[in-house]
Structure 1
């Protein structure tokens, strides 16, 4: 086997540039969580605008709508995140043009995992330092949360996390998550999870929260007033 192969791969199957990409996500210092309740799905993340001096907060966000029914939170290197979001939107738009209905969340996440895998198979390309967690509510799957990352693995979750404090956040969710939570309980748990792992009381301007519900299936981002109404700790 060539030396070029060993430059990127280990005999046990590990891939160097995928491991580097996963570490790069954590080095950005941002943590995000996603979870689903009985009638809703929620994503929450630190506001990246608070970590960058003199930036206009209206131009920097980790929350994006990908089509009419699917939204996401991206964590990692911001340039890679924006690229992956544009690819997801292009895939969703092309699917809608051909099939005349919206691309389901599991199909879209599967396609994003395929795109990420192309970066791991090409030795000359750099794996994207970006993790994407998608949420949606539809007739077939109900409230749904899916996640994919540079390893190109994708799965559906009840609750998951990504970023610098991923392990701590997942441990908190494992202990506190309950099935069939209400909309308000779901938002509270997502915010409380971030507060717990970051070790400070988050203010509405410090976080971003996105939600889809059975009554309003279009992904939307909560404003500061709505976040206060959902969470009595503010």
Structure 2
């Protein structure tokens, strides 16, 4: 760090002379060091996929990085996952309150904005630190399929396809070239697997992947089981010019 900037990373509420909040930037760097998470919007739903690196004796049938906020909304996280749990609990409370007050499911953008507002509060006051996690919120509401990104700065932005975590820059470049507006859910799921293979050390199995789908017909999030994930992986390998394992 340059001498002129020294000391400005000590307090979260102090801007550096060049207009930066270093603690917020450090939190965003934490997200970049997390394992990959991907969201892809299709014409008939939304796909969330993550890479989870498990230890040899770890029970891996419980997903650590994909959460359900409401029947129709799911979240994929990258970064400091305990922070993600706090934000997801906050989002669940907001979603259930909306059902009780208005007797209707909450909009996906409303949840994204609520989480982003919460994150922004933790960049503004002394005695706290920013959340070290970014979230991809996917869901189907009255506006159709939606995908939003929230980050530690309190920003939320809508996307057709987005990647966060380690290798996300490379995956985002790949998505910009490969994504099409009329993509189907099955094609989006296969594309998500292809993205994980692009940056993962394991380029054959699906044991290090978790996936969830929210489709426009049921408007309900469901976990993708191993057998179905294998089919998407086989399709991804075939598309990439590799033979299925």
TM-score (norm 1): 0.90
Flag the structure with higher helix content: 1
The aligned runs of 1:82-121 (5 Å cut-off) are: 82-121=85-124
Tell me which residue corresponds to 1:63: 66
Tell me which residue corresponds to 1:34: 39
**1:50-80 deviations in Å (ceiling 9; x for gaps):** 2x45332244521111011111101111211
Query: Counterparts of 2:57 and 2:126 in 1: how far apart (Å)?
Result: 38
Q: Does structure 2 retain, via aligned residues, the 8 Å contact 1:17–1:126?
A: yes
Deviation at 1:147, TM superposition (A): 0.7
Tell me which residue corresponds to 2:130: 127
Q: Gaps spanning 5+ residues in structure 1: where?
A: none
**1:35-58 deviations in Å (ceiling 9; x for gaps):** 11111111111024x2x4533224
Q: Does structure 2 retain, via aligned residues, the 8 Å contact 1:63–1:221?
A: no
Q: Gaps spanning 5+ residues in structure 2: where?
A: 1-6, 238-243
SS of residue in 2 equivalent to 1:231 = helix
Pair 1:128–1:202, CA change in 2 (3 A): farther
Pair 1:230–1:4, CA change in 2 (3 A): closer
Tell me which residue corresponds to 2:168: 166
Tell me which residue corresponds to 2:84: 81
The aligned runs of 1:1-234 (5 Å cut-off) are: 7=11, 8-28=14-34, 30-48=35-53, 50=54, 52=55, 54-140=57-143, 142-198=144-200, 200-232=202-234, 233=237, 234=244
Compare 71-80 and 198-207 and name the one that shifted more.
198-207
Query: Counterparts of 1:58 and 1:221 in 2: how far apart (Å)?
Result: 11
Pair 1:53–1:80, CA change in 2 (3 A): farther
TM-score (norm 2): 0.87
Query: Counterparts of 2:8 and 2:147 in 1: how far apart (Å)?
Result: 38
Q: Does structure 2 retain, via aligned residues, the 8 Å contact 1:65–1:220?
A: no
Query: Counterparts of 1:199 and 1:174 in 2: how far apart (Å)?
Result: 22
SS of residue in 2 equivalent to 1:205 = coil
Which of structures 1 and 2 has the bigger CA Rg? 2
Q: How many residues align?
A: 228
Moved over 6 A (4+): 3-6
SS of residue in 1 equivalent to 2:113 = helix
Q: Does structure 2 retain, via aligned residues, the 8 Å contact 1:116–1:152?
A: yes
